[in-house]
Amino acid sequence: MGVKLAVTAGFCFGVERAVNKVYDEIDNTKPVYTYGPIIHNEEVISDLASKGVGIINSKEEIDNLSEGTIIIRSHGVSKEIYDIIEKKGLRLVDATCPYVKKIHKVVQRESENGRHIIIVGNKSHPEVEGIKGWCSKSYTVIKDIDEAKNLEFDSDTKLCLVSQTTYNNNKFQELVEIISKKGYNCIIMNTICKATDERQAEVRKLARESDAMIVIGGKHSSNTQKLYEISKEECENTYYIQTLKDLDLDKLQSYCNVGITAGASTPNNIIKEVHTACQKRVLNKCWRNH
């Protein structure tokens, strides 16, 4: 009985690297901007804003700058954004996750080789927006089984299939099976990052063993949303929170086995605060009952 914290909870390599780059730049240069929020976590963004870090959300906003450093966030951006920053003569710090960078290189190469690129993911997610911007020719974005079933190309069309790094691995395999059966000349690249795969596998196992699950992360975090979906499949009593204030601790009094995980953009101090509060509530309740 008790509270178990997932080993994989919290910042992944790519996110930690990106956040550290921003804090390093705060000490070295002014002004500092990130292209889009550096990560999908409101607490981190608020702290960076208090230290003077601005957010650029469009190429038009870059055009209005005359000086400063722009940090490319972990999700990556299109080739066009790099070109605009360079043309403006602004300083660029690239914090794109290496796993995302790998996808950019793949789609650029295969697109130039004449393949139509299929991107598995959420078309409005910034990572997918960035990947699209490295396709020199045609591409299609699909997000689910129905869209995979509806894919139709000329028989001689060459394809290359990649995935958003945070996509659900089990669902990706289902889509691969559907597309493979269509008989196209298709290169399959499973570009879901290893950390995402491990995190999803762990939350599935932990949820099966728990009476209740708490998933911590920003409301706009794609990888946290995936963790919540997976956990909910295995444990009906799954709660999605951003910080401790979002959690109704009284609900935990009904459970003795509580699991906790967190998305790749969730700072350690938030995880620790939730973990400590849950331990006090759950353990006290369980000891009183024994």
**What amino acid positions are annotated as catalytic residues?**
127
List, in sequence order, every beta strand (DSSP E) within the chain.
Answer: 2-5, 32-35, 54-56, 69-72, 91-94, 116-120, 139-142, 158-163, 185-188, 212-216, 238-241, 257-262
- Single-letter amino acid, residue 197: D
Tokens encoding 280: 């006090």
Residue 75 in contact with residue 121, Cβ under 8 Å? no
Residues near 103 by beta carbon (within 8 Å), at least 6 away in sequence:
131, 134, 162, 165, 189, 191
Residues sharing a CB contact under 8 Å with residue 7, sequence separation 6 or more, in sequence order: 202
How many angstroms separate the CA atoms of 215 and 217, rounded? 7
